[in-house]
Amino acid sequence: MNEVLRILRSYLITFGWAVVGSVGLGVGVFVALSIFDLCTTRVDEWELIKNGSIPMAIVLAAIIIGCAIVVAACVLPPLQP
């Protein structure tokens, strides 16, 4: 029974870190894209993407992936013995 409780506790911890990572990534992507939008005031990124601009889509994808890497490194759960 003790083993089952330990496994259940590990699953709950993993689920908790998944929630923290999801919320962190959502906030991080929102902030990163808002800052990018403020830095490029003369360019309407979303209109370019709607019109099929692949380079702009690649730039925005790179911002999102970069943000995901940073958030993943920050919410990495500590190693447990």
Q: What is the pLDDT of residues 22-55, one digit of tens each?
A: 898 889 899 988 999 899 889 888 899 999 999 9
Assess if residue 30 is contained within a domain: yes
In a domain, residue 3? The reply is no
- Residue 24 is assigned to a structural domain of this protein: yes
- In-domain check, residue 65: yes
Q: Is residue 4 part of a domain?
A: no
Q: How far is CA 6 from CA 3, 9, 78, in A?
A: 5, 5, 17
> pLDDT exceeding 90 applies to what percent of the chain?
36
Residues near 70 by Cβ (< 8 Å), separated by ≥ 6? Answer: 28
How many structural domains comprise the chain? 1
Q: Is residue 26 part of a domain?
A: yes
Domain interval for residue 41: 15-74
pLDDT of residue 24: 84
> Is 9 within a domain?
no
pTM: 0.70
Q: What angle do CA 13, 18, 23 make, to 5 degrees?
A: 130
